[in-house]
């Protein structure tokens, strides 16, 4: 079958692997052995339970996640986790540490402040969020309820290259835009959450990986749907989950495993980003936004000399079939989002386009 697919640099929902889309297409009308679409079956059926459980098993194998962590498939996006995390982990008397590394971190902080005392333990604000604070710049609160980071800053194009040392305090990460893009040491985290629509599948599923110890930490009388314990004790089937989204996420995780797992995709992603940054650094025509040591491997952000030039870049790229390169509306510039499913050859196509544009305009 032939497809007319363009190169999709969208920040999210983002590109999905073609083999995953093709499998979903083949199985859309009738799931093998079931005779109905995955969208038509009960979420309580054995067929759907096996879709869900296989997806969770594959995540455990992919990221080496022990049974002491619960893997939940929720709804409401990472944005609802901004509130669920403090509601579940922060009780009235305690303080939590948040590291303010940009747009999404600020949104997380805003919700936590509704619930309790938030200490901003580090910020990239004075540098326009072009870098991630270093360990010595952090002012962590002894005995904090948890430390919250945004592992990859989708808008600004920065990423934690190594996790902060938070001692015995639980580490919580919004990993929406770099989950499963490289190997992770799960033992360093107590809670990871991510909307699926960047690295893991379609919109509408939110992955939460939580150390069971945290489930009993605080907070009675939470609203049922906002209590992690509801979802943990019902294996993500308290109410109807996003059945199709869970199925797609399962295919995506299988695809990642078939490539060779996180070490393989990590190498591919590092190669993709290095190639593109090398091109950005080559001549000075393109101006990287993030400071070198904080550069994201997922969202590569850069500017041109003028906004007019940037607009021309985006328009000409669109016309050449390279879509989604316009930077986030709040920061402008150019952003190439190159998550797990973005093909390596697509980087070469972008570089070729960038050279041509520079020759015409430079
Ligand atoms: C996209 C994004 C979000 C928001 O995710 P929703 O699923 O739309 O709520 C939060 N955090 C980060 C880092 C993101 O990239």
Statement: the pTM of the whole predicted model exceeds 0.85: yes
- Give kind and range of the element (H or E) at residue 77: helix 77-89
57 classed as catalytic: no
For the stretch 189-193, contacts whose Cβ atoms lie closer than 8 Å and that sit 24 or more positions apart, written own/partner, are 189/163, 190/146, 190/214, 191/85, 191/89, 191/146, 193/78, 193/81, 193/85
Paired sense of beta strands 95-100 and 117-123, if any: parallel
Q: Would you say residue 88 has pLDDT above 70?
A: yes
Question: Which of 176, 177, 192, 329 to probe ligand 1 with, by most ligand atoms within 8 A of CB?
Answer: 176
- Ligand 1 interacting residues, C-beta cut-off 6 A: 12, 77-79, 104, 150, 154, 174, 176-177, 195
198 classed as catalytic: yes
Measured in angstroms, how far is the CA atom of residue 31 from the centroid of ligand 1?
30
Written as six digits, the tokens of 237 are 């089937």
pLDDT in tens, 135-153: 999 999 999 999 999 999 9
Written as six digits, the tokens of 56 are 């969770």
pLDDT in tens, 174-219: 999 999 999 999 999 999 999 999 999 999 999 999 999 999 877 8
Question: Which of 195, 200, 331, 335 to probe ligand 1 with, by most ligand atoms within 8 A of CB?
Answer: 195
174 classed as catalytic: yes
Q: Mean pLDDT score of the chain, rounded to an integer?
A: 96
Scored b (16 or more CB within 10 A) or e, 131-152 reads bbbeeeebebbeebbbbbbbbb
Cα angle, residue 201 at apex, residues 275 and 277 outer, rounded to 5°: 15
Measured in angstroms, how far is the CA atom of residue 351 from the centroid of ligand 1?
28
């Amino acid at each position: 079958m032939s497809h007319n697919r363009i190169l999709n640099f969208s920040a999210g929902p983002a590109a999905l692997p073609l083999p995953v889309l093709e499998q979903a297409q083949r199985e859309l009308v009738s799931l093998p052995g079931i005779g109905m679409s995955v969208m038509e079956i009960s979420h309580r059926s054995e067929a759907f339970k096996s879709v869900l459980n296989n997806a969770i098993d594959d995540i455990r194998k992919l990221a080496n996640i022990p049974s002491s962590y619960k893997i939940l498939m929720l709804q409401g996006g990472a944005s609802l986790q901004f509130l669920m995390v403090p509601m579940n982990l922060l009780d009235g008397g305690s303080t939590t540490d948040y590291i303010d590394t940009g747009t999404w971190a600020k949104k997380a902080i805003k919700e936590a402040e509704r619930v309790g005392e938030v200490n901003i333990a580090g910020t990239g604000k004075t540098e326009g969020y072009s870098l991630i604070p270093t360990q010595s710049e952090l002012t962590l609160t002894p005995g904090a309820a948890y430390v919250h980071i945004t592992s990859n800053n989708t808008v600004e194009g920065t990423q934690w290259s190594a996790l902060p040392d938070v001692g015995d305090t639980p580490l919580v990460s919004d990993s929406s835009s770099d989950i499963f893009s490289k190997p992770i040491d799960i033992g360093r985290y107590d809670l990871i959450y991510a909307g699926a629509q960047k690295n893991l599948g379609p919109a509408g599923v939110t992955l939460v990986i939580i150390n069971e110890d945290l489930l009993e930490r605080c907070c009675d009388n939470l609203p049922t749907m906002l209590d992690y314990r509801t979802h943990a004790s019902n294996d993500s089937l308290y109410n109807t989950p996003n059945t199709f989204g869970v199925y797609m996420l399962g295919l995506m995780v299988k695809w990642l495993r078939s490539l060779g797992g996180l070490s393989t995709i990590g190498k591919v992603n590092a190669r993709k980003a290095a190639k593109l940054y090398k091109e950005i650094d080559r001549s000075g025509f393109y101006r990287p936004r993030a400071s070198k040591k904080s550069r994201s491997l997922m969202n590569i952000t850069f500017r041109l000399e003028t906004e007019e030039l940037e607009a021309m870049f985006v328009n000409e790229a669109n016309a050449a079939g390279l879509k989604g390169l316009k930077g986030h509306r709040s920061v402008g510039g150019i952003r190439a989002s190159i998550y797990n499913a973005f093909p390596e050859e697509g980087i070469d196509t972008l570089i070729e386009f960038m050279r041509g544009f520079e020759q015409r305009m430079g």
